[in-house]
Chain A
């Protein structure tokens, strides 16, 4: 087989793997391809509505643009880039640590530099394809409202997808060199998780500190930001200009993305093999507590101790779960601000806290209830299954309590009534999320946490709807109590319907 044939064969292999992985993610591993494609088309069609609401008003924009428009579009593109970077870092980390596959490749007589070049290209392709897919409803809305010139936005998506993949590879390899293989996985995954959210949260924090509002557009469209922004002919605005139909700038951007990716492939592909060998050759021996005497207590206490210990010792899982808490930073800041100046905006804190509690509880409940690495051991232990479940749910409630108690206590200083409503909302959202996980529980390894949403789409949607529903109910309870009754009843009905159609356990 010639070198070119071997490369194209490996490229096909990579694309097939990426496609099947994506399909498995979409179908929860159940391989219902036709249904997944139909669901995707329906989802894409439905997405046109929110896309219109968010972006429809920009469709009439014409070149040359003013600074505020340039800032908003550039910030939106940067947010998309940050999310793509996050996804690409995650993919690169997986490539480094997918040992079974790498052992086969590394033990083959293939030219490793070429093979890894193909793999880098495959990462870039999958990141870009996903971005194109997600951006389609938004670009469609712009094209329908503002004309074909907006089609160039697809080119911008491709350009930033290529550059995001290039940056992700460079960041991951540099992390290997700086902090070693053992820490890179954790740091890269945390980095991937916070990069996307970080930008939005930073804008919100800036908005709160400057304008006392959660709206990030307040900062982006402010005179102060416009004053600091460079002139409209600056290369900083190229992505915005390219998106709106500037063909020359678009060509430059796409060429830049390709050159950047090519450069990264040329520099890092030959060293990829060394990096992988380093990752697999360093044994990580991590110690636990040097206990010599065992602690006493009931069987449920033993279970709770185990759950706390496992949560505490898995920083990646903790970071994945606590990621949702990042969104609490802006409301917490708002709360802190409200102590000095009375503001009605503080009402917004309650739904944010309740929703975060529901989401976090869902993740924790999955980890404790479904993510049991020694399911047979626990099942053969001499205690009834109901007590096992109770101990595990207690862990979820305790963790949620510990995390949210300080926020609620701080809220009580501002408004006792609001703190009470928030507490009630947190409890109900937590119990709902835990109940949904309980009804839909499937035995899984904790390491499958990343894919927990795909095991039951119904559970995922129910969990999200209930979190949002209870958050809205809590917010309405403070402002319009009668509406809260209706919202609460609707959410309770959703929960009841979820129970009705769940594979109920005895």
Chain B
């Protein structure tokens, strides 16, 4: 694993809607790291990640992806990044293979590379029997898997996932988790938000907890336990304690 270059550096990131959604957030994710971003509903997780992905313009702050200033050169930053939201972004009238062909085309990947890679990805996600069926009849889980395959087909260096396991059955969730861990082992960086704390506990190298648009705790599970002062505490207990404390302070 290469951990010396930051895959993502966020400095003073700020976004206000009616109230501050993200409040001068600083965040660093190292290359080759699996980073879980946790927080209660409305904490600013999705807003943060949407600003990183270039889907939302920040009011202030900077976003650097693998050394590229994402606000100054968004096209270069997008070239090495993939975004997967909790609502699968696919086209009902395309088949999974056609969808991946379109995504590969958008990222300018040579067909000789993307074709076999797409096929392999879809097979590994258990979609082989549905390769040539239109997505319109797919379940939420199948759609999410197609969207994930789309995110991976252009071999991104940084994958940002917003609640990717929502609505997935146990087997599908295992497929997705396996695929993400495989990518991390291959040197890719994964940033994921989730409400399933067990997933963060088991998969993440580091965990960040965000509340009211600010990072309130960050570190490995062991570091978080140390910060919390109790070595036998579960992530769930620590999360609730952190969020509760922050809510009380606010």
The residues of A with any CB-CB pair to B shorter than 8 Å are: 283-299, 301-303, 305-306, 309-310, 313-314, 373-384
Interchain CB contact under 8 A, B102 and A373: no
Give the residue of B76, B106, B132, B150 whose beta carbon is less than 8 angstroms from that of A302. B106
Q: Does chain A have a CB within 8 A of B90?
A: yes
Q: Does chain A have a CB within 8 A of B246?
A: no
User: Nearest-CB distance from B114 to chain A (Å)?
Assistant: 5
Q: Take A294-B101, A302-B106 as given contacts and tell me if A310 and B94 are in contact as well, using a CB distance cutoff of 8 Å.
A: yes
* Set of chain B residues within 8 Å of A310, measured between Cβ atoms: 91, 93-94
Closest to B153 in A: A294
Q: Mark B50-64, 1 if CB is under 8 A from A, else 0.
A: 000111000000000
Interchain CB contact under 8 A, B54 and A379: yes
Q: Does chain A have a CB within 8 A of B177?
A: no
Interchain CB contact under 8 A, A379 and B55: yes
* Set of chain A residues within 8 Å of B55, measured between Cβ atoms: 376, 379-380
Give the residue of A285, A287, A289, A294 whose beta carbon is less than 8 angstroms from that of B111. A294
User: Nearest-CB distance from B96 to chain A (Å)?
Assistant: 9
Interchain CB contact under 8 A, A296 and B110: yes
Interchain CB contact under 8 A, A384 and B92: no
Interchain CB contact under 8 A, B134 and A287: yes
Q: Does chain A have a CB within 8 A of B163?
A: no
A295 CA / B119 CA spacing, docked (Å): 14
* Set of chain A residues within 8 Å of B133, measured between Cβ atoms: 285-288
A286 CA / B136 CA spacing, docked (Å): 8
Nearest 8 A-B pairs (CB), nearest first? A302-B105, A288-B95, A294-B111, A374-B89, A382-B79, A313-B93, A382-B78, A381-B106
* Set of chain A residues within 8 Å of B81, measured between Cβ atoms: 380
Residue in B102, B108, B137 with the greatest tally of chain A CB atoms within 10 Å = B102
Interchain CB contact under 8 A, B115 and A293: yes
Closest to B55 in A: A379
Interchain CB contact under 8 A, B134 and A313: yes
The residues of B with any CB-CB pair to A shorter than 8 Å are: 53-55, 75-76, 78-79, 81-83, 85, 89-95, 97-98, 101-108, 110-111, 114-115, 118-119, 132-134, 136-137, 150
Q: Take A288-B95, A381-B78 as given contacts and tell me if A374 and B136 are in contact as well, using a CB distance cutoff of 8 Å.
A: no
Closest to A313 in B: B93
Interchain CB contact under 8 A, B94 and A306: yes
Interchain CB contact under 8 A, B94 and A376: no
A290 CA / B130 CA spacing, docked (Å): 11
Interchain CB contact under 8 A, A380 and B137: no
Interchain CB contact under 8 A, B137 and A283: yes
Closest to B91 in A: A373
Interchain CB contact under 8 A, A373 and B90: yes
User: Nearest-CB distance from A29 to chain B (Å)?
Assistant: 19
Closest to A286 in B: B134
User: Nearest-CB distance from A383 to chain B (Å)?
Assistant: 6
Interchain CB contact under 8 A, B106 and A376: no
Given contacts A291-B101, A374-B91, 7 further A-B contacts (CB under 8 A): A288-B134, A289-B95, A295-B105, A309-B93, A310-B94, A373-B92, A382-B107
* Set of chain B residues within 8 Å of A293, measured between Cβ atoms: 111, 115
Interchain CB contact under 8 A, B106 and A288: no
* Set of chain B residues within 8 Å of A377, measured between Cβ atoms: 83, 89, 103, 106, 150
User: Nearest-CB distance from A116 to chain B (Å)?
Assistant: 26
Interchain CB contact under 8 A, B75 and A384: yes
25 A-B contact pairs sorted by A residue (CB < 8 Å): A284-B136, A285-B134, A286-B134, A286-B136, A287-B133, A288-B134, A291-B97, A291-B101, A292-B115, A293-B111, A294-B104, A295-B101, A295-B111, A303-B105, A305-B102, A305-B105, A306-B91, A310-B93, A377-B103, A377-B150, A380-B83, A381-B103, A382-B78, A382-B106, A383-B75
A302 CA / B103 CA spacing, docked (Å): 8
A501 CA / B115 CA spacing, docked (Å): 46
* Set of chain B residues within 8 Å of A295, measured between Cβ atoms: 101, 105, 111
User: Nearest-CB distance from A44 to chain B (Å)?
Assistant: 38
* Set of chain A residues within 8 Å of B114, measured between Cβ atoms: 294
User: Nearest-CB distance from B106 to chain A (Å)?
Assistant: 4
* Set of chain B residues within 8 Å of A288, measured between Cβ atoms: 94-95, 97-98, 132-134
Closest to B92 in A: A373
Interchain CB contact under 8 A, A374 and B90: yes
A298 CA / B108 CA spacing, docked (Å): 7
Q: Take A377-B89, A379-B54, A382-B79 as given contacts and tell me if A284 and B94 are in contact as well, using a CB distance cutoff of 8 Å.
A: no
Residue in B93, B115, B150 with the greatest tally of chain A CB atoms within 10 Å = B93
User: Nearest-CB distance from A505 to chain B (Å)?
Assistant: 13
A379 CA / B102 CA spacing, docked (Å): 14
Closest to A303 in B: B106
A301 CA / B107 CA spacing, docked (Å): 12
* Set of chain A residues within 8 Å of B79, measured between Cβ atoms: 382
Interchain CB contact under 8 A, A296 and B97: no
A384 CA / B78 CA spacing, docked (Å): 10
* Set of chain B residues within 8 Å of A284, measured between Cβ atoms: 136-137
User: Nearest-CB distance from A392 to chain B (Å)?
Assistant: 13
* Set of chain B residues within 8 Å of A314, measured between Cβ atoms: 93
Residue in A283, A293, A313, A380 with the greatest tally of chain B CB atoms within 10 Å = A380
A299 CA / B118 CA spacing, docked (Å): 17
User: Nearest-CB distance from A346 to chain B (Å)?
Assistant: 40
